[in-house]
Structure 1
Amino acid sequence: MPPAQVTDRIEEGSRGHGTHNTGLRANWRVLAISLYMGISLFGYGFDKGAIAGFQAMPGFLQIFGYETPEGWEIHAGPQQIISSFMILGSMIGSILCGPLGGFLGRRHSVMLGSLLMIVSVIIMILTTSMGVLYFSRLLIGIANGLLLNFTMIYLQECASAHFRGLCFGIATLWITTGTTVGMVINHATSEMLSRKAYQIPLYACFAAPVILIVTLPFLPESPRWLLHHQQEEKALQSLRFFREGACDEIRIQQEFEEMKAIASRESDSPRDWRLFLEIFKGHNLRRTVISVGVGTANAGVGAMFVLAFGTYFFAIAEVADPFKWIMITNCVGLAGILLTWFVVTWVGRRLIILFGCVVCTVCMLVMGVVYSVPGVSHDGAGVAIIILVSIYIFGFNFGLEPYVYLVAGEMPSQQLRAYTMGLANAVSFIFAWLCAFTTPYYINPTELNWGPKVGYLWFGSGLVVCVFVYLALPEVRGRTLEEIDEMFRNGVPTRDFKTYICVEHEEAKARGVARVLVDKPDSEHVEDI
């Protein structure tokens, strides 16, 4: 093809797009990988569903509790530590994500988290020492922190812009699945009067990390991570792997040119501990505030109060068969996360997250009111608490559980993604730890004995979360991570993100066409532009 014609075709291509089939069948590979990678989150969900139930099991309390004339109980102190040490460990694991991510990469960090998960579960199964149990809880928290953050970061950097939200919805299904499985097994073993009551549920935690350690070496590393570590050819191969069947070569090259531009811009940045300080400078500070603010939404609406102490909370509220009802309410939440798959690609993150925050906040208010109004019958209050918890978990899983992690990873720049997302989740875990640490004092009959009236507290913090999401969170549905980076660097106002035209994005498209035409000047795919 003559040079003049090549130039004309490049100019034509810069005004269009390569072919990207957005059908589910064409994108089956990245969706299947999301489902596969999501198994790393099973243990995190299982912990929320099972460990809270252990604290109501006679078999567990015979080892780590004490006997009273009414039955077996556990002191508030050990109850606090058992729940809060996992959260504390998750905070530590999240903080480690920045330096570990730069050195090990995304896949190997997930493998490290899987190994720590196996070790911590073995210790928890074998020990009868309270101190060793505390250590295992801290270790399993570190494992969950690594697995949660690096799974999300890997999917952020590998999924296409159109399917990023759906991929997160698919992956986080495993959190709710883990919680549900933990509750089901707990329900089946709860009446056992031996250590097997809690050991049997723990065995279920081995499958996911073993599968990941064995199979992850066969997946490519994140193309963006490879580019930032001067492995351009491997990065392009990785991108082709994830886009195979959905994008033609022009579209792949256009996306690759966007990634290269960011990698080139950030190549001179420090790669040691000083990189952490960059998240508080310039436009990165705005990104950090949004990531951390939205990341704490889970804790802000009282999720840890409902999820970590659900079974115990139902018991002290005198709801009959609390194990059964917490399991049923969690299945309602599972329906919520499945439903969100059908709307996230079309509605976007901001509206969904805001909806989840409002639903959870209102539920907390109604919960407090129901148990404050005189004359409400005991049975009526019990029915009300079941309905409210069901609605709460549905709203939480529909609008918050998947997408606070999505937003925390979409906002930062490429080189700071692990640092920023790790900080956001660490702060979220700090607030969750405070909740887990203080909640026993609020609800325990031997302490303040507020019971469901503690909902007033979470109503207040939920209002703050709702206002922040409404004012600060931009809508980035369908935008590439590089487009988001450009908009933050250019100081685009929150309300203008949906309509802003990214110049660098258009320039990258033109370079992608040029690269294809130079390599394959007779390519017929250009006609599809």
Structure 2
Amino acid sequence: MGKVETREPEAGEPQEWRVEGVRDTGLVANWRILVITAYLGMSLFEYGFDKGAIAGFQAMPGFLQVFGYQTPDGKWAIEPGPQRIITSFMTVGALIGALSTGHLGAHIGRRHCLMIACALLIVAVAIMITTTSFGVLYFARILCGLGNGIVMNFAFVLLQETAPPGLRGLCFGMATFWITFGTTMGMVANNGTAGIMSRLAYQIPLYVCLPIPAMLIFTLPFFHESPRWLLHHHRPEEALKSLRFYRGGAYDEVAVLQEFEEMKAVAAREAEASPSWKDAFEMFKGTNLRRTIICVGVTSANSGVGAMFILSFGTYFFTIAQIGDPFMWTVITSCLGVVGLILSWFLVQRVGHRRLILAGSAICSLSMLTIALLYTVPNLSAKKAGVGLVVACSFYLFGFNLGLESYSFLTSGELPAQHLRAYTLGLSIGFSFILAWLCTFTTPYFINPTELNWGPKYAWIWFVSGLIATVFIYFMLPDVKGRSLEEIDEMFRNNVPIRGFKTYVCQEIQETRERAALHALGMDKMGAQEDTTAGKHVEKA
């Protein structure tokens, strides 16, 4: 249990002990946390599926027969008003859900919050399947967003608080795979049912959303709560038991106790003994303000690069581009996004998620520039522009999933103080949803032939927005690859410059680990019995 090394001192030099816990960072040793990641990631499937499916519903005759109208030439269409509301009200609900998670998380455990959210999703989907009323459909869209907002926050927070530092990026990439996978499955389901000339065309895809949240409701009660949340609510025995579960097979007892002591030190300092709604205001004070600005800025880039423009209206653009089956092209481009996400799993361990977020933002910005140019340059044939649109959208989704979709939310969960994590992540996701809502609500005005009729030229706006996001990420986002949440906390409290995070030595954390190792090995008692003149020093190997 643990490693202890001694070195014979030279003349006048104190005896030196070197103590360290054993931490295996290999994937095989950490199989348990990888399985847990896949399990928690499933909760994000419905959010991704919704993004992929709802956009396609608006081009389905079976859906438009209920919520649209028939044009004089016999085609089915939808009014701009309902088009905006159906797409954007989910985002409004998600905003409400995200902003409420801080208060929920302060009083209710992470897993219980996930159970509540899953119940909301089941009710929302059931309503969407059965209703033929616009008002009821709008309510269901808000309810769906509320559930997704809560799910996203607490699935990410629970992963943040349980994944080992060296695997945190990979775990997030694996979890967000379910968003991308869900989006692709939504498009695939639409492609398979689009030709059905009845309500089943959109009801069948919606049925796909029900099994996962139902399964989670019945299994989450047997799941281990976050050890950090338990510590902050004065349940140290349960917290240590939970940490041993999450580190089982990868950490020895010394390493577990070292990490536990780090958590205890932060919990004692923050003393979240009486959670209050007033805690939210701590996000805007002192060093926490700096963290909040970074978290909100980076997470907002997820929407600020125009993701909802591509995801929510991609099928529509492929339709007006007249380059073949639009549903088929949405599936193909989405699959390239999955390729980008899976590639990120192999890169994040090597280059860190800061570089991937930066690369993803840059690729998205350049893709938007390409789309805008294709439909601005004169004398370019419609067919060539359409082909270029498909290629640009493919690169966009590749870059988006390579960095922003996977890791922007990771940043907003790992940088805040422990007792503000749910608040800050909720605010960050909420602000991102505001941008997404603005995009989905206003886009029909810009692209609809009966309104401004900009079409793909609308991408000029998102090119500029993406460029601003890329610059912000480059200058503001620190590199915290391989750092524990407690190390990140110490660096922010000590006002370490952004460029200094990578090399900074966290003295407080080192001392905490040394004390925990000595205590675990019984060397603290041995040291107390030694002659103090001999001296003793402990450092991490």
TM-score, with normalisation over the residues of structure 1? 0.95
Letter in 1 for 2:39: Y
SS in 2 for 1:51: helix
Letter in 2 for 1:161: P
1:135-146 alignment runs, 5 A limit: 135-146=139-150
Tell me the alpha carbon deviations over residues 345-390 of structure 1, each in whole angstroms, 9 at most, x when there is no partner.
1211211111001000011111111111112112111110010000
Residue of 370, 393, 397 corresponding to 2:397: 393
Give 1:16 deviation, angstroms: 5.0
Partner Cα separation in structure 1 for residue 110 and residue 16 of structure 2: 37
Partner Cα separation in structure 1 for residue 16 and residue 41 of structure 2: 41
Aligned 8 A contact 1:316 1:451 in 2: no
1:65-464 alignment runs, 5 A limit: 65-70=68-73, 71-267=75-271, 271-464=275-468
Partner Cα separation in structure 1 for residue 84 and residue 494 of structure 2: 46
Partner Cα separation in structure 2 for residue 509 and residue 299 of structure 1: 39
Partner Cα separation in structure 2 for residue 381 and residue 227 of structure 1: 57
SS in 2 for 1:62: helix
Letter in 2 for 1:449: N
1:47 equivalent to 2:57? Answer no
1:479 equivalent to 2:483? Answer yes
Tell me the alpha carbon deviations over residues 417-437 of structure 1, each in whole angstroms, 9 at most, x when there is no partner.
000000000000001000000
Tell me the alpha carbon deviations over residues 457-508 of structure 1, each in whole angstroms, 9 at most, x when there is no partner.
1111111101100110000000000000000000000000000000111011
Give 1:269 deviation, angstroms: 6.9
Tell me the alpha carbon deviations over residues 35-80 of structure 1, each in whole angstroms, 9 at most, x when there is no partner.
1110000000000000110000000000000110230100000000
Aligned 8 A contact 2:69 2:78 in 1: yes
Give 1:218 deviation, angstroms: 1.4
Aligned 8 A contact 1:93 1:146 in 2: yes
Aligned 8 A contact 1:325 1:386 in 2: yes
Aligned 8 A contact 2:20 2:517 in 1: no
Residue of 485, 489, 498 corresponding to 1:494: 498
1:467 equivalent to 2:447? Answer no
User: Which residue in 2 is equivalent to 1:58?
Assistant: 61
Q: Taking structure 1 as reference, are residues 417 and 158 closer, same or farther at Cα in structure 2, changes over 3 Å only?
A: same
Partner Cα separation in structure 2 for residue 88 and residue 477 of structure 1: 33
Aligned 8 A contact 1:317 1:452 in 2: no
Partner Cα separation in structure 1 for residue 448 and residue 390 of structure 2: 19
Q: Taking structure 1 as reference, are residues 430 and 364 closer, same or farther at Cα in structure 2, changes over 3 Å only?
A: same
Give 1:137 deviation, angstroms: 0.1
Partner Cα separation in structure 1 for residue 322 and residue 280 of structure 2: 48
Residue of 38, 41, 66 corresponding to 2:41: 38
Partner Cα separation in structure 2 for residue 379 and residue 315 of structure 1: 12
Give 1:299 deviation, angstroms: 1.2
Q: Taking structure 1 as reference, are residues 16 and 393 closer, same or farther at Cα in structure 2, changes over 3 Å only?
A: farther
Partner Cα separation in structure 2 for residue 422 and residue 309 of structure 1: 26
Partner Cα separation in structure 2 for residue 160 and residue 459 of structure 1: 36
Give 1:207 deviation, angstroms: 1.1
Tell me the alpha carbon deviations over residues 272-327 of structure 1, each in whole angstroms, 9 at most, x when there is no partner.
11101000000000000000000100111100100111111211232321100010
Partner Cα separation in structure 1 for residue 273 and residue 118 of structure 2: 31
Tell me the alpha carbon deviations over residues 61-110 of structure 1, each in whole angstroms, 9 at most, x when there is no partner.
00000110230100000000000000000000000100111111100000
Partner Cα separation in structure 2 for residue 508 and residue 246 of structure 1: 20
Give 1:165 deviation, angstroms: 0.3
Letter in 1 for 2:167: F
Of 45-54 and 367-376, the range deviating more from structure 2: 367-376
1:26 equivalent to 2:34? Answer no
Letter in 1 for 2:53: A
- Structure 1 residues without counterparts, runs of 5 or longer: none
Letter in 2 for 1:388: A
Partner Cα separation in structure 2 for residue 208 and residue 425 of structure 1: 22
Aligned residues: 519
Partner Cα separation in structure 1 for residue 147 and residue 199 of structure 2: 24
Q: Taking structure 1 as reference, are residues 320 and 274 closer, same or farther at Cα in structure 2, changes over 3 Å only?
A: same
Give 1:515 deviation, angstroms: 2.3
Partner Cα separation in structure 1 for residue 43 and residue 187 of structure 2: 18
Give 1:270 deviation, angstroms: 5.4
Larger radius of gyration: 2
Letter in 1 for 2:478: P
Partner Cα separation in structure 1 for residue 227 and residue 43 of structure 2: 20
Aligned 8 A contact 1:292 1:424 in 2: yes
Partner Cα separation in structure 2 for residue 185 and residue 432 of structure 1: 24
- Structure 2 residues without counterparts, runs of 5 or longer: 9-14, 527-537
Identical residues among aligned pairs (%): 57
Partner Cα separation in structure 2 for residue 498 and residue 286 of structure 1: 18
Aligned 8 A contact 1:317 1:451 in 2: no
Aligned 8 A contact 1:113 1:147 in 2: yes
Of 311-320 and 355-364, the range deviating more from structure 2: 311-320
Of 450-459 and 276-285, the range deviating more from structure 2: 450-459
Aligned 8 A contact 2:368 2:462 in 1: yes
SS in 1 for 2:502: coil
Partner Cα separation in structure 1 for residue 28 and residue 205 of structure 2: 36
Of 258-267 and 440-449, the range deviating more from structure 2: 440-449
Partner Cα separation in structure 2 for residue 226 and residue 216 of structure 1: 16
Aligned 8 A contact 1:163 1:345 in 2: yes
4+ residue stretches of structure 1 with deviation over 4 A? Answer: 519-522
1:503-522 alignment runs, 5 A limit: 503-518=507-522
User: Which residue in 1 is equivalent to 2:535?
Assistant: none
Of 33-42 and 62-71, the range deviating more from structure 2: 62-71
Partner Cα separation in structure 2 for residue 16 and residue 237 of structure 1: 23
SS in 1 for 2:419: coil
Q: Over aligned residues, Cα RMSD in angstroms?
A: 2.0
Give 1:173 deviation, angstroms: 0.5
Of 399-408 and 315-324, the range deviating more from structure 2: 315-324
